[in-house]
Amino acid sequence: MEWSAFFLQQIINAIFLGSIYSLIALGYTMVYGIIELINFAHGELFTAGAFIGVIVLTALQQAGFVETHFILTMIIVFVLSMAYVAVLGVAVEHVAYRPLRTSSRLSALLSALGMSIFLSNGMMLSQGVSDRPYPQVFGLEGIEFMGARISNGQIFIILLSFALMIGLQLFVHRTRLGKAMRATAQNKTMARILGIDIDQTIRITFMIGPALGAAAGVMVGLQYGAVRFDMGFIFMIKAFAAAILGGIGSIPGAVLGGMIIGTIEVMWAAFLPSAWKDVTTFTVLILVLYLKPAGLLGESDAEARV
């Protein structure tokens, strides 16, 4: 393979990985924007989405549905897994966050961390410790482009994730609920005085954010061919690094951060010893928090929040 083609291939991989990180990072950013707490259980919600995806997809494949109605299958898989995780997200909020809304940050953080450990081990017990194989529904065919290859699955995933991101941006900026969300994020007391149902808004945030994570989970499963109960951990840290890098609380920031982290990881793995690629991500995270805690596109008052 030519050098330029190799480079182009890496860029395609980076966009692919970046869009997955962006989707997970969006969940962090939305939840952080509204309650100013990291959703520690987000990685596990992402994994739960991947598991529901594999369960539904396997069932549909056994029914022979995948060959006949491919598009419909994809819609069912994504909708069901996102819906399930939305319910799970609300449950997590109800159990671990709502009772602690007025208590100290340390308590809320620990309770969220406990929830994350609980969910991760619950999935281990119910779905097993080993890799769970994903049915390969996308063939090997793809498009050749200047010597680089992009598979149909990758195209589908990149397009879907961009559609979800644009949909989210429109939802937050064009609908009443989105307006209520932005108002709650800005000032809870004032929003309540103006008649916004704060509990309802937070609940909806905890539905949308994790649902996006679930979509990312299904995408990871489709692309890499397997899911594991503890895969959420590493994705969680990377997506979190992306959210911080882009500026937490900002939706375009999360997408930008996700793309940058994806690019760094892919390029590092391509040109430098790949065993150290995770160390690089952690280092980037720490450097960003140290040097520019508000992130690239963050609001200026984020610095006070750190």
Partner 1 sequence: MIRQELKKLVIYGFFLAILLIPMLGFRSTTFEPGRAFKTLGVFMAILILNLALKIFRNRRGKEAVVKKSWTERTGEYINRLPKTFTIGGLLLVAILFPIFGDNYVIDVGITCLIYVCLGLGLNIVVGLCGLLDLGYIAFYAVGAYTYSLLNLTFGLSFWSALPIGIVLGMMVGCVIGYPTLKMRGDYLAIVTLGFGEIVRLVLNNWDSLTAGPNGLFGMKRPAVYYPSFSEDGFAWAVYYLKSLPALYYFILVITIFTIVGVRRLDNSRIGRAWIAIREDEVAAELSGVPTTWIKLLAYALGAAFASVAGAFFAAKLSYTNPNFFLFMESCIVLCIVVLGGVGSIPGIIVAAFVLIGAPEIFRGLENYRMLAFGGIMTTMMVLKPEGLIPASRRKRELHENQEALPED
Residues of the shown chain interacting with partner 1 in the complex, contacts defined by CB under 8 A: 37-38, 48, 51-52, 55, 58-59, 62, 84, 87-88, 91, 95-96, 99-100, 103-128, 132, 233, 237, 240-241, 244, 275-276, 278-279, 282-283, 285-286, 289-290, 293, 306
Residue 212 C-beta: closest distance to partner 1, Å: 19
Cβ atoms of 27 and 210 closer than 8 Å: yes
Residue 114 C-beta: closest distance to partner 1, Å: 3
For partner 1, give the closer residue by CB, 20 or 123: 123
For partner 1, give the closer residue by CB, 142 or 293: 293
Residue 99 C-beta: closest distance to partner 1, Å: 5
**133 contact partners, CB below 8 Å, separation of at least 6:** 54, 225, 226
Residue showing tokens 């989970």: 217
CA 282, CA 284: separation in Å to the nearest integer?
A: 5
Residue 252 C-beta: closest distance to partner 1, Å: 21
For partner 1, give the closer residue by CB, 16 or 21: 21
Within a 10 A sphere around the Cβ of 185, how many other Cβ atoms?
Answer: 19
For partner 1, give the closer residue by CB, 58 or 151: 58
Both tokens of residue 157? 């995933």
For partner 1, give the closer residue by CB, 12 or 302: 302
CA 196, CA 171: separation in Å to the nearest integer?
A: 17
Tell me the CA distances in angstroms from 229 to 112, 115, 219, 257, one per residue in order: 18, 14, 16, 25
Cβ atoms of 213 and 23 closer than 8 Å: yes
Residue 216 C-beta: closest distance to partner 1, Å: 18
Within a 10 A sphere around the Cβ of 139, how many other Cβ atoms?
Answer: 9
Residue 56 C-beta: closest distance to partner 1, Å: 8
Within a 10 A sphere around the Cβ of 51, how many other Cβ atoms?
Answer: 23
For partner 1, give the closer residue by CB, 13 or 81: 81
Dihedrals φ, ψ of 97, to 5°?
-105, -45
Residue 166 C-beta: closest distance to partner 1, Å: 28
Cβ atoms of 77 and 154 closer than 8 Å: no
Q: At what angle do helices 232-246 and 3-35 cross, to 10 degrees?
A: 80
For partner 1, give the closer residue by CB, 71 or 106: 106
